[in-house]
Structure 1
Amino acid sequence: MVLQIEADKRLSFNRSIKYGDLVIVYEKHDAMKAVKVSENGVLQNRFGAFKHSDWIGKSFGSKVFGHKGGFVYLLAPTPELWTLVLSHRTQILYIADISFVVMYLEIVPGCVVLESGTGSGSLTTSLARAVAPTGHVYTFDFHEQRAASAREDFERTGLSKLVSVGVRDIQGAGFPEELSGRADSVFLDLPQPWLAIPSAGKMLKEDGILCSFSPCIEQVQHSCEALSSQFTDIRTFEVLLRTYEVRQKILEGEGGPIDENPSKRKRVTNGVECSASNSVMLRPSSEARGHTGYLTFARLKCVALS
């Protein structure tokens, strides 16, 4: 498998590509795909045909050329890249929300994390990396086929030893009793999270943390009401991400001095000699991602000893 997880090492991709590896083929920042390397495999895209056999022995991050002279990059399937290429069986969490969740849930190697629902497994993949190599993620989804597809994805990305996928209606039945008191943190992505909050409280260790993701503020209000009896330090956040496009432009200035620098050029506009130079320009992306959801965090109250 691509992700080789050992007790004394963090996830590493400093090795050569082999048959059976999962590779993220990078064409450009918004065009990537996951490809399993096979003996007779050929990737066809607008840049040409790329034989998988030519990839063998190359390091992750390598630039490879097709028969037409076009090229792609072969990248390791990190959780960040996997989030961008996975199959969307449900609406997923993206990098900004995922980073915030991992930090505020205080997830470190060795933690036990419970999640409901699994969905497309975007967050689960990052949770697994955060708890590796000795922790574990128990994730649940009420939809049997969705859970089976997620389980297959975790096999593909080499995370099956870190993730257990269960089929269960957490809103109706709660988390399994055998996990009671074992979880360092719990994450809920449910339409009615307040129904699962009492069970989540039983699963958490003393001083454990819960996070609930909800797209609507009414869901947040109901959840906070349910949290108040068992939890303290209740906070809600909305993470908004603004990206910038980086482009190289030629700027012109009238009557500028002649510059021998090859990055600068002379132009004549209306009979006036102008100097033109290459500059890097930044502007907000025209496809900015807006509201995704609200993240509500709460810490389990300590039970006072009588």
Structure 2
Amino acid sequence: MSFASYHDNIELGDTVILYLSPTELEAITIKRGGVERNKFGDFPHANMIGKPFGSKIYAMNKRSWIMALYPTPELWTRALPHRTQIIYSTDISLVAMYLNLKPGSVVIESGTGSASLSHAIIRTVAPTGHLHTFEYHEQRAQLARQDFEAHGLSHLVTVRCRDACKEGFGLERVADAVFLDLPSPWDAVESATRALKGPGAKLCSFSPCLEQVQKTCTRLRALGYQDIITYVGLIRHLSFSHTKMQNFVIRPNPKGTNSNKRTAEQSEATDGDAQSVQPSAKRENIEAEDEETQASETAVVGNPGVKWAPIEFATEFMTGRPAPSVRHARPHGIFDLCDTPMLSYCFRGDGLIVQNDQ
């Protein structure tokens, strides 16, 4: 099998990503007579062979199941055995974009580590590109070769056991891009420059410490590099839950207008003397509006037996038109707090769901 190609059904010798939960993935190789044992039960490999990727695989006890997924670089990053610290998908996508990687690109990488980034680069440059990856640790280099061979990627990658910081890359004018993930990347910058094809080729260095970034940037400037930019890639996970909003009461503006307008007295005042407006006048104005809206507020809230409070005034606020005949209306999605004292909410996203009377 290959991470750079696809077939439909699970076969003997395939690498399969087992989906146990949103935070638990495992990578296995399908073997004759093999059994995967985990907290959900025993899963014979024979039950997976011939099944389409993405199928549910039931345990021998028939009470639990897992999913068998086709291996992709993204899933491999989440399931691979960690030989070193790895680069995750957030930074991988940033690197691939700014290095302008595409099919046919020739890329140099140092160091290989657990080969998380390597798999993503190979998939991106396939079928006509090539990756030259360097790893100074002999055992890790050998394990990376074994992974690439098992995943059907050997023809797209060359693994070298070599210390790029001390010995350089030994390549001249071959690479469209160079990626450095090293303790002292500034020591490899000069050799990386010789390995790049020339103007327009790109170099990227990944460093966890600001001091490393400063030293690398200083060295790049000394070698004549232009447009040096430093990025921090962040990912933000969003979660949601379904909540019944019972007794949901909103103070409406019955006129369908923004009640945060300035009074005539305030409008005549300049910005400098706006502080001179008497607080008592403001309170009287708000109290008058409160009395005016009490009756309509009762009508808007409606029958206490209704689970969702009607909010037709929100439709008026957004569209400027009278709301349709409303039986129930449910606030749905994200809503923001406005700075208006009477109309407290406006809606965005998918707005609100209004059910018309038939």
TM-score by length of 2: 0.67
Cα deviation for residue 160 of structure 1 reads 1.5
SS in 2 for 1:154: helix
Q: Is structure 2 residue 137 aligned with structure 1 residue 139?
A: no
| One of 166, 184, 188 as aligned partner of 2:180 | 188
Who is 1:257 aligned against? 306
Greater share of strand: 1
Please list the CA deviations of residues 163-187 of structure 1 after superposition, one character each: whole Å capped at 9, or x if unmatched: 11111010011111xx310100000
CA contact (8 A) 2:246 2:307 kept: no
Give deviations 1:31-68, integer Å, cap 9, x for gaps: 11001111101112222221111111111111121122
Distance 1:27 1:280 in 2: 30
Does residue 1:19 correspond to 2:12, yes or no? yes
Give the deviation of 1:258 after TM superposition: 6.4
SS at match of 2:228: strand
Describe the shift of the 1:159–1:246 C-alpha distance in structure 2 as closer, same or farther (beyond 3 A). farther
The equivalent residue for 2:212 is 219
Amino acid at match of 2:88: Y
SS at match of 2:16: strand
Deviations 1:139-181 (A, max 9, x none): 00111111111111212222111111111010011111xx310
Task: Please say if 1:107 is aligned against 2:101.
Answer: yes
Q: Distance in 2 between matches of 1:258 and 1:237?
A: 49
Aligned to 1:77: 71
Larger Cα Rg: Structure 1 or Structure 2?
2
Q: By how many angstroms is 1:257 displaced?
A: 2.3
Q: Does 1:244 align with 2:293?
A: no
The amino acid that maps onto 2:105 is C
Residue correspondence of structure 1 range 152-167 to structure 2 within 5 A: 152-167=146-161
Structure 1 Cα separation of the partners of residues 168 and 38 of structure 2 = 46
User: In the aligned structure 2, how far is the partner of 1:75 from the partner of 1:256?
Assistant: 48
The aligned amino acid for 2:57 is: V
SS of equivalent residue, structure 2 residue 231: strand
AA in 2 matched with 1:33: E
Equivalent residue number for residue 229 of structure 2 = 235
Output the CA distance in 2 between the equivalents of 1:73 and 1:251: 32
Runs of 4+ aligned structure 1 residues displaced above 6 Å come to none
**C-alpha offsets along residues 183-240 of structure 1, whole Å, 9 cap, x if unaligned?**
0000001111111111111110122000001111111111111111231111110111
Q: Which moved more, 1:51-60 or 1:106-115?
A: 51-60
Q: State the match for 2:22 in structure 1.
A: 29
How many residues align? The count is: 254
Contact 1:77 1:157 in 2 (8 A): no
- Unpaired runs of 5+ residues, structure 1, are 6-10, 260-274, 282-306
Aligned to 1:58: 51
Residue 220 and residue 258 in structure 1: after superposition, are their counterparts in 2 closer, same or farther (change >3 A)?
A: closer
| 1:87–1:256 Cα change, 3 Å | farther
Most deviating of 65-74 and 17-26: 65-74
Aligned AA (1:35): I
Query: Which is richer in helix?
Result: 2
Distance 2:84 2:333 in 1: 38
Offset at residue 280 of structure 1 (A): 8.8
Match for residue 124 of structure 1 among 111, 114, 118: 118
Q: Is the 8 A contact 1:92 1:120 kept in 2?
A: yes
Cα shift at 1:250: 4.0
Task: Give yes or no for the alignment of 1:88 onto 2:82.
Answer: yes
Which stretches in structure 2 are left out of the alignment for 5+ residues? Answer: 248-303, 309-327, 335-358
Q: Indicate the residue corresponding to 1:199 in structure 2.
A: 191
Q: CA deviation at 1:256?
A: 4.5
Among 121, 136, 150, the alignment partner of 2:144 is: 150
Retained in 1: the 8 A contact 2:2–2:153? no
C-alpha separation in 1, matches of 2:240 and 2:147: 33
Query: Please, what is the CA RMSD of the aligned residues?
Result: 2.0
Q: For residue 269 of structure 2, what is the aligned residue in structure 1? A: none
Alpha-carbon distance in 2 for matches of 1:31, 1:280: 29
Percentage of identical aligned residues? 47
Q: How far off its partner does 1:252 sit?
A: 4.5
